Structure 1
Amino acid sequence: MLQVVDKIVLGMAGVRFLSATIEFSAALLMVWFGRVETAFKINALLAIVGPTVLLTVTSLGLIGLAGKSSPLGMLIIVCGVVLIFVGINKL
């Protein structure tokens, strides 16, 4: 059995497991309904899940790194996260 000591890592993994469960359930619903219109609606709802999970896991990671990284290192990490969202919004 896996032993996870760090609660931040456990939280990050838990959010990702929840996300995977939601995605898998949505895929099963798409197959269950078998209609393109319904599958499209389900897919649209999933558009909310992705960014929310990214923000949550990133926030947990930043909290976990806060005491372990220098202020300059934290600034660089935060700038990287901001650039990810700028890049996503420019598409």
Structure 2
Amino acid sequence: MWFLIKDKYVFGMAFMRVFSGCIEISAALLMLYFNRVETAVKINAGLALVGPIILFLVMSLGLLGLAGKLPISKMVYVLLGVALIFYGVNKG
């Protein structure tokens, strides 16, 4: 399976998503272990920080991978799309 990986950026993006999934599963198990709503809310608040960080890291890796393959005009559209995602999820 590993020998099929040809693009280091795709591998990095996939690895970050698997890592994020492991964090999510660990958080769920901790919620079950502590079995208290107050603690579960605190754990969930911690996850609220992890999600955007992972999104930013995965998107950054993807943009690095695309940097040499896309014309600058299309790269501007991709960056604008990323900016709009962050603007849209901003609570301010």
Superposition TM-score, scaled by structure 2 size:
0.95
Q: How many residues align?
A: 91
Q: Secondary structure of the residue that 2:68 maps to in structure 1?
A: coil
For 1:16, the aligned partner's letter is R
| Residue of structure 1 in register with 2:81 after alignment | 80
| Residue of structure 2 in register with 1:70 after alignment | 71
For 2:53, the aligned partner's letter is T
- The equivalences for 1:1-16 within 5 A come to 1=1, 3-16=4-17
For 2:71, the aligned partner's letter is S
Could you tell me which runs of 5 or more consecutive residues in structure 2 were left unpaired when the two chains were aligned. none
Shift of the 13–46 alpha-carbon distance from structure 1 to 2, 3 Å rule, reads same
- The equivalences for 1:29-48 within 5 A come to 29-48=30-49
- Quote the offset at 1:4 in angstroms: 1.1
Separation in 1, partners of 2:49, 2:34: 21
Superposition TM-score, scaled by structure 1 size:
0.96
Could you tell me which runs of 5 or more consecutive residues in structure 1 were left unpaired when the two chains were aligned. none
CA RMSD of aligned residues (A): 1.1
Percent identical across equivalent pairs?
Answer: 57
Runs (4 or more) in structure 1 with deviation over 2 Å come to none
